Amino acid sequence: MALSMTGYGRGVKSTADYCITIDIKSVNHRYLDINFRIPKNYAYLEDKLRRDLTQFVSRGKIDVSVNIESFLDNRIQINLNHSVVAAYLSSAAELKGMYAVPGELDLQTLVKLPEVFELTPVEEDQETVSQIASEALNEAMNALLAMRRREGEKLVEDFIQRIGSLSHLRQRLAQWAPSVVELYRERLTKRIQELTGGIEVDPNRIAVEIALFADRSDINEELVRIESHLQQFTHALNLDEPIGRKLDFLIQELNREINTIGSKANDLQISQIVIEFKAELEKLREQVQNIE
């Protein structure tokens, strides 16, 4: 199935600790060009997301925007600094014993002392973050591919119509080509009569000249190859794989054949049909640039 290279998709995955949003935009490109915008402290995600992306696409300029909202900033782990508490209690007992200071070091006073508690943020689990990001990416890519598929279906409809036009033009060339030699025979005979004043000329020499002209202007081989290329183009539209490069190659070959016919043309009608063919082929080529 033909896929357009133009599309957009968004994926959002949320957990108790994170909300990850990934936006993906793709446009036409001859090769696969992936660009990421991702927070610096999550740069480790890029390699995995890039590998995941290449499982979905083979061509196009892909812009990936990754937004990560972490709720871990509000989660602080509190740990009792046992060595500090022990030091405070030991010092208080020493102070009381040596200087007969009255009173006791109670809990309310102790918890207010510096460094009794250690406050540390909860560490991130990179594997968990990677998994959530991959799920968001998959959702975004499925949305992107759905859009590319819809665009591809519209392009295929246009391709079929244009291939039909090219087939019709090829048929016109095939129907008119035999007339070219006969018209040349009539023009040559008339010209000779005008130049010789009605004097009889060896018909064998005329026949040789006509045969040479027929050989030089014969376009049957080109017409056969054009028909083959058009059939291959139509067949490729049903393949379940990237077909953009194949279609582009077939258009190049069609252009080569029609150019050859144009160079052989010694007839105004054929030249006009060649011009129409090339104009329609150029429109087809422009549309093919949108196909993956």
Q: Looking at 22-26, 89-93, 134-138, which range is the least confident one? A: 89-93
| Mean pLDDT, rounded, for 125-144 | 95
Residue keyed to tokens 């005008």: 194
| Mean pLDDT, rounded, for 127-147 | 96
Handedness of CA 70, 73, 76, 77 (dihedral sign): positive
pLDDT at site 97: 82
CATH for 7-72+125-148 is: 3.30.230.70
pLDDT at site 89: 87
In this prediction, what percent of the chain has a pLDDT beyond 70?
Answer: 84
For the chain, give percent helix, strand, coil, nearest 5. 65, 15, 20
Angle at 71 between CA 115 and CA 66, to 5 degrees: 130
- 3 state DSSP class of 68: strand
Place 236 in a pLDDT band, splitting at 50, 70 and 90.
very high
Q: Would you say 41 and 18 are in contact if contact means Cβ atoms under 8 Å apart?
A: no
Span 255-283, pLDDT tens digits: 999 998 888 777 788 889 999 999 999 99
Q: Can you tell me the distance from the alpha carbon of 2 to that of 239, in angstroms, rounded to the nearest whole number?
A: 8
Task: Give bridge partners of residue 291 from the DSSP assignment.
Answer: 4
Residue 208 has pLDDT above 70, yes or no: no
Encoded tokens for 244: 């953009």
pLDDT at site 277: 96
Residue 221 has pLDDT above 90, yes or no: no
Q: Can you tell me the distance from the alpha carbon of 45 to that of 240, in angstroms, rounded to the nearest whole number?
A: 30
Residue 78 has pLDDT above 70, yes or no: yes
| Mean pLDDT, rounded, for 12-19 | 92
Span 90-102, pLDDT tens digits: 888 888 888 887 8
Q: Which of 7, 235, 14 lies closest to 141, judged by CA?
A: 7
DSSP conformation class of 45: H
| Mean pLDDT, rounded, for 20-35 | 95
Q: How far is CA 114 from CA 51, 91, 111, 155, 245, in A?
A: 49, 14, 8, 71, 69
Residue 44 has pLDDT above 90, yes or no: yes
Residue 138 has pLDDT above 60, yes or no: yes
Residue 193 has pLDDT above 60, yes or no: no
Q: Can you tell me the distance from the alpha carbon of 213 to that of 185, in angstroms, rounded to the nearest whole number?
A: 9
Amino acid at 173: L
Q: Can you tell me the distance from the alpha carbon of 258 to that of 173, in angstroms, rounded to the nearest whole number?
A: 10
Task: Give bridge partners of residue 26 from the DSSP assignment.
Answer: 7, 62
Place 182 in a pLDDT band, splitting at 50, 70 and 90.
low
Q: Would you say 267 and 173 are in contact if contact means Cβ atoms under 8 Å apart?
A: no
DSSP conformation class of 74: G
pLDDT at site 158: 95
Encoded tokens for 253: 């070959």
Residue keyed to tokens 């002392």: 113
Mean pLDDT of the chain: 86
Spans of all domains in the chain: 7-72+125-148, 76-121, 149-288
Place 185 in a pLDDT band, splitting at 50, 70 and 90.
low
Residue 56 has pLDDT above 80, yes or no: yes
